[in-house]
Amino acid sequence: MASGSGSGVGGGRVAELREIRAEALRGPSEKATEAQHAKGKLTVRERIELLLDPDSFNEVEQLRRHRATGFGLEAKRPYTDGVVTGWGTVEGRTVFVYAHDFRIFGGALGEAHAAKIHKIMDMAIAAGAPLVSLNDGAGARIQEGVSALAGYGGIFQRNTKASGVIPQISVMLGPCAGGAAYSPALTDFVFMVRGTSQMFITGPDVVRAVTGEEISQNGLGGADVHAETSGVCHFAYDDEETCLAEVRYLISMLPSNNRQAPPTVASSDPAGRTTESLGEMVPADGSRPYDMHRVIEELVDDGEVLEVHERWARNVVCVLARLDGQVVGIVANQPQVLAGVLDIEASEKAARFVQMCDAFNIPILTLLDVPGFLPGVDQEHGGIIRHGAKLLYAYCNATVPRISLILRKAYGGAYIVMDSQSIGADLTYAWPTNEIAVMGAEGAANVIFRRQIAAAEDPEAMRARMVKEYKAELMHPYYAAERGLVDDVIDPAETREVLIKSLAMLRTKHADLPSRKHGNPPQ
């Protein structure tokens, strides 16, 4: 019998199915959609359309509904149960996604809601494809009690299982309170939108009740707070459209999983392009600042970079970029901020970035211009020893290709920590302006020659003489190269070509760590 006739599968049942699907796609009501738009927020399916390639989304468990009873829940059983799950493509590559629908139960997580997320996370891990969560939910569904809390536990467990296996990206597009904030914190990257997204463990009401402090939701956990102060947020944007476009761009820089290399693109920027301007861009005088961003943009393909944690711990710069079409992670000191010193936050920022690059087979390029660790009581009492050790551990543990380039200063323990040859850098280069030493010449002279300086008829003249002598003996640009601690001193104009040739050679690098369950990194 032909499909669509009055009897059989093609008849009324198909019409009923279409009607149910239309209801699920439409959402709870036009009023709820208008309310979402009035807040400056897109609906769940509008967001998925922006994230994924056109017509590529395949939904999973669209018709799922909760089975909870009590508190009026049995009378309200919408399709999707407040979360849309499935897979699609970004630039042709498979990506899994789950997205809260704030119009249904405020996006709150219940047992069925959680089961859908668990399933799509398991599918992403099994398929070896990135997972993106579009978060816009009010936390656990209170009416379902402990079952909702257990649902979060299942998400956290899967976040941890997927860590370092597939890229996990959390996009905050609304409120995220309580335990719900820990899932994004377990993922690789967190995106936020100013004005509409917040993250906090205890909200303003609880803060006011416990401490008496008055603060707004955005003041407590808005995008700018987490992008500048807490470091929870890696990227913050003014609107959802820009945010989701940048998520797509990030995905284009990452491999699908830890068994693959990052995507390669054809580059129109010549590999042998000279970088003549670098010699003028970086002052030879180590006390004069400059913008490390300009150096990086001059080196990489077409000057295009994606900076991670752009506004947090700005004394170190972490970017993803390409050299001759190949993705590379760049860690660099920023002389414009705190002279580029390492402190607690900079160490944590760089350590996490190095770990991410190592997990996903992204070569690491380190650009050094570091005068040391930041001194001070606050830093010492805040644990600069253990926090700085995180960066040291991350570099020592990384098996991807690692190249370091010393532009100017490289002093003390900070030089060793910033991927020196002694902790495993595959290749170490330096410019003729490099100064590698235990400390600056002035400080060293004051320590080594303090008696001679104190006894001299003209202490200042003696100090100047000793500084000059120390520089000549131990800080000339070829001192480290002569001892094999630097592989070559290179012309700044040839830097791009040298780096690209070195990365090409290291592309087949293979290194094994000792057999172990896992390390015990400093915390």
In this prediction, residues 105-119 reach a mean pLDDT of: 85
In this prediction, residues 355-380 reach a mean pLDDT of: 96
pLDDT by residue (tens digit) across 49-78? Answer: 999 999 999 999 887 777 776 676 666 778
Task: Give the contacts of 316 (CB within 8 A, at least 6 positions apart).
Answer: 331, 332, 333, 334, 340, 342, 346, 349, 350
State the catalytic residue, choosing from 128, 164, 179, 231.
179
Short-list 422, 412, 476, 420, CA closest to 447: 412
In this prediction, residues 289-303 reach a mean pLDDT of: 97
Share above pLDDT 90 across residues of the chain, in percent, rounded to a whole number: 65
Q: Between the ranges 82-86, 281-285, 498-502, where is the mean pLDDT highest? A: 498-502
State the catalytic residue, choosing from 11, 178, 195, 325.
178
**pLDDT given at position 1:** 40
φ/ψ of 73, rounded to 5, equals -65, -35
Q: 10 Å Cβ neighbour count for 11?
A: 14
pLDDT by residue (tens digit) across 300-313? Answer: 999 999 999 999 99
Indicate the class that CATH gives domain 276-434+477-506.
Answer: alpha beta
**pLDDT given at position 386:** 96
State the catalytic residue, choosing from 108, 140, 177, 414.
414
**pLDDT given at position 142:** 66
pLDDT at residue 385 above 50? yes
In this prediction, residues 80-91 reach a mean pLDDT of: 93
Q: Model pTM?
A: 0.91
Q: Enumerate the CATH 3.90.226.10 domain ranges in the chain, comma separated.
A: 12-253, 276-434+477-506
Three-class SS string for 55-81?
CCCEEECCCCCCCCCCCCHHHCCCHHH
Task: Give the contacts of 89 (CB within 8 A, at least 6 positions apart).
Answer: 52, 53, 56, 95
In this prediction, residues 117-144 reach a mean pLDDT of: 90
Residues 311 and 348: beta-carbon distance below 8 Å: no
Residue type at 183 in one-letter notation? S
Give the CA dihedral 248, 251, 252, 256, nearest 10 degrees: -140
pLDDT at residue 207 above 80? yes
Region of poorest pLDDT, from 151-155, 199-203, 302-306, 441-445: 441-445
pLDDT by residue (tens digit) across 333-343? Answer: 999 999 999 99
pLDDT at residue 424 above 90? yes
**pLDDT given at position 407:** 96
Q: What share of the chain is helix, strand, coil (3-state, %, to 5)?
A: 45, 20, 35
Q: Is 440 a catalytic residue?
A: no
| Homologous superfamily of the 12-253 domain (CATH) | 2-enoyl-CoA Hydratase; Chain A, domain 1 (3.90.226.10)
- Higher-confidence residue: 349 or 110? 349
d(CA 403, CA 299) in angstroms, rounded, equals 14
pLDDT interval class at 459 (50, 70, 90) = confident
**Average pLDDT score over the chain:** 90
Residues 87 and 129: beta-carbon distance below 8 Å: yes
Residues 117 and 153: beta-carbon distance below 8 Å: no
pLDDT at residue 495 above 80? yes
**pLDDT given at position 353:** 98
In this prediction, residues 469-473 reach a mean pLDDT of: 74
DSSP symbols for 451-480: HHHHHSSSHHHHHHHHHHHHHHHH-STTHH
Q: Is 179 a catalytic residue?
A: yes
Query: Could you tell me the maximum CA-CA distance found in the chain, to the nearest angstrom?
Result: 113
Residue type at 413 in one-letter notation? G
d(CA 509, CA 389) in angstroms, rounded, equals 26
Q: Is 106 a catalytic residue?
A: no
pLDDT interval class at 482 (50, 70, 90) = confident
pLDDT by residue (tens digit) across 222-253? Answer: 999 999 999 999 999 999 999 999 999 999 99
In this prediction, residues 501-518 reach a mean pLDDT of: 93
Question: Helix axis angle, 111-127 relative to 146-162, nearest 10°?
Answer: 10
**pLDDT given at position 291:** 97
In this prediction, residues 303-331 reach a mean pLDDT of: 98
pLDDT at residue 5 above 60? no
Q: Is 413 a catalytic residue?
A: yes
State the catalytic residue, choosing from 413, 443, 456, 464.
413
